[in-house]
């Protein structure tokens, strides 16, 4: 081959490679440009939507829109971004069919997961928007505690249901009929799975069923005052497996849900938060009971801890050394009643010390001159009889 022909062939091959390389770089540049456009577009859509929600919140002064932004902002951003990627994916040039199919499958699975995330966020929004009308800090909060307890338990059940549906939907995204069968079986075999779980994890299922029973029958509620295993505290949290009780000294008592179905316990706020309490005094027989009763009325009526319902003083027992005086008082809740009982003990004791210092329990002794000679002879000087 002549030298000129060989030179022309080499130049043609070099030009072809240059053109192919240029087209390759242009293809990837266009793909990167599309990706950046998707990022910008999804963020713009997200900004516009939630900007409108923020303006709606300012105009209506409704806190529900705050919950929407708090729980739905991130999953909505993910949904917008994945949706834009699915829209521009066919526009990417020179993308092999197998690679495009793989990318599309991954994006569809990510979209299904993001939709499940969004559904869980919506459950939280609904719970927060509903519970804001029920204040646990109110004086009469029985209805609020009932609603808070039921929503906590049902929220966990709904989230579990959403997760199962989402897993089944993820399996349905595959084009393999065998995997479709697994996805359908996941939802259709709930009864069989329940039997297996009941056998393999009896305690877990027992707690789950106990949670359902507690939500319906309401033996305990959030913020209830209970006495469990000798510990006084408030129900702080009810999970799907256990109950957290905040004890008065800030310790936490963790009790399985099944305990409240199978065992007895005290619930001081089952129907209402108001409660009565007692303070006992032990005094000598010489003190006037009516004076004690008037002083108790003075102390209790001057205290803000009293709910103006019950205030009484009675002699409940007599011993050989003292009288047992019971001071019965009522308050709006258990915490205030405890403080009021302490106040009654302190001020009643101080009043007795000031006005009747000799009325505290004492051992009475007296010399008895017996009329029986033998007994009088046996009794030594200074010997006393106890009464």
Tens digits of residue pLDDT in 88-127: 777 666 667 777 788 888 888 888 899 999 999 888 888 8
pLDDT at 24 over 50: no
Q: What are the distances in angstroms from CA 5 to CA 1, 2, 9, 14, 66?
A: 7, 5, 6, 14, 76
pLDDT at 293: 94
User: Which neighbouring-strand residues pair with 238?
Assistant: 243
pLDDT at 93: 66
Give the SS3 label for residue 382.
Answer: coil
pLDDT at 238 over 70: yes
User: Which neighbouring-strand residues pair with 254?
Assistant: 244
Give the SS3 label for residue 238.
Answer: strand
Tens digits of residue pLDDT in 177-202: 655 555 555 555 555 555 555 555 55
Q: Which of 13-27, 137-151, 255-269 has the lowest mean pLDDT?
A: 13-27
Say how many C-beta atoms besides its own lie within 10 A of residue 360's C-beta: 15
Tens digits of residue pLDDT in 314-364: 999 998 889 999 999 999 888 899 999 999 999 999 999 999 988 888 766
Share of the chain above pLDDT 90, in %: 24
pLDDT at 345: 95
For helices 97-131 and 64-88, the axis angle rounded to 10 degrees is 170
94: alpha, beta or left? (left if phi > 0; alpha if psi -120 to 50):
left
pLDDT at 265: 92
pLDDT at 137 over 50: yes
The answer to whether 120 touches 162, Cβ cutoff 8 Å, is: yes
Q: Which of 12-16, 62-66, 193-197, 383-387 has the lowest mean pLDDT?
A: 383-387
Cα of first residue to Cα of last residue in the chain, in angstroms, is 144
Overall average pLDDT of the 24-35 stretch:
60
The answer to whether 71 touches 53, Cβ cutoff 8 Å, is: no
pLDDT at 68 over 80: no
3-class secondary structure for 123-147?
A: HHHHHHHHHCCCCCCCCCCHHHHHH
In the structure, what pLDDT confidence band is assigned to residue 60 with cuts at 50, 70 and 90? Answer: low
Tens digits of residue pLDDT in 243-296: 999 998 999 999 988 888 888 999 988 888 889 999 999 999 889 999 999 999
User: Which neighbouring-strand residues pair with 327?
Assistant: 279, 313
Q: How many CA atoms lie within 13 A of 303 on its CB side?
A: 25
Rounded to 10 degrees, the C-alpha dihedral 138/139/144/148 comes to 70
């Amino acid at each position: 081959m002549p030298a000129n022909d060989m030179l022309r062939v080499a130049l043609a091959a070099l030009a072809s490679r240059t053109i192919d390389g240029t087209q390759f770089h242009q293809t990837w540049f266009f793909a990167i440009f599309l990706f950046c456009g998707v990022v910008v577009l999804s963020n713009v859509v997200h900004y516009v939507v939630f900007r409108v929600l923020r303006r709606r919140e300012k105009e209506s002064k409704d806190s529900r829109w705050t919950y929407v932004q708090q729980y739905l902002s991130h999953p909505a951003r993910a949904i917008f971004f994945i949706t834009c990627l699915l829209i521009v994916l066919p526009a990417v040039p020179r993308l092999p069919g197998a690679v495009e199919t793989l990318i599309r499958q991954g994006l569809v699975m990510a979209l299904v997961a993001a939709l499940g995330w969004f559904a869980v966020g919506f459950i939280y929004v609904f719970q927060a928007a509903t519970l804001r009308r029920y204040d646990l800090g109110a004086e009469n909060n029985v209805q609020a505690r009932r609603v808070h307890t039921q929503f906590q338990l049902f929220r966990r059940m709904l989230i579990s249901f959403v997760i199962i549906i989402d897993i089944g939907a993820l399996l349905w995204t595959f084009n393999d009929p065998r995997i479709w069968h697994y996805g359908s079986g996941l939802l259709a075999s709930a009864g069989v799975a329940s039997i297996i779980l009941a056998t393999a994890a009896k305690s877990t299922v027992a707690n789950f069923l106990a949670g359902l029973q507690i939500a319906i029958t309401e033996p305990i509620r959030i913020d209830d005052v209970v006495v469990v295993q000798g510990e006084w505290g408030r129900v702080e949290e009810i999970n799907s497996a256990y109950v957290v009780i905040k004890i008065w000294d800030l310790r936490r008592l963790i009790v399985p849900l099944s305990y409240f179905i199978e065992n007895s316990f005290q619930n001081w706020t089952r129907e209402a938060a108001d409660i009565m309490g007692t303070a006992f005094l032990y005094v000598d027989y010489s003190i006037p009971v009516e004076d004690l009763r008037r002083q108790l009325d003075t102390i209790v009526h001057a205290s803000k801890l009293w709910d103006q319902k019950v205030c009484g003083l009675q002699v409940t027992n007599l011993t050989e050394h003292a009288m047992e005086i019971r001071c019965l008082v009522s308050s709006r809740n258990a915490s205030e009643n405890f403080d009021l009982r302490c106040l009654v003990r302190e001020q009643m004791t101080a009043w007795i010390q000031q006005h009747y210092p000799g009325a505290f329990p004492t051992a009475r002794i007296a010399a008895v001159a017996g009329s029986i000679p033998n007994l009088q002879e046996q009794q030594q000087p200074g010997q006393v009889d106890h009464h």
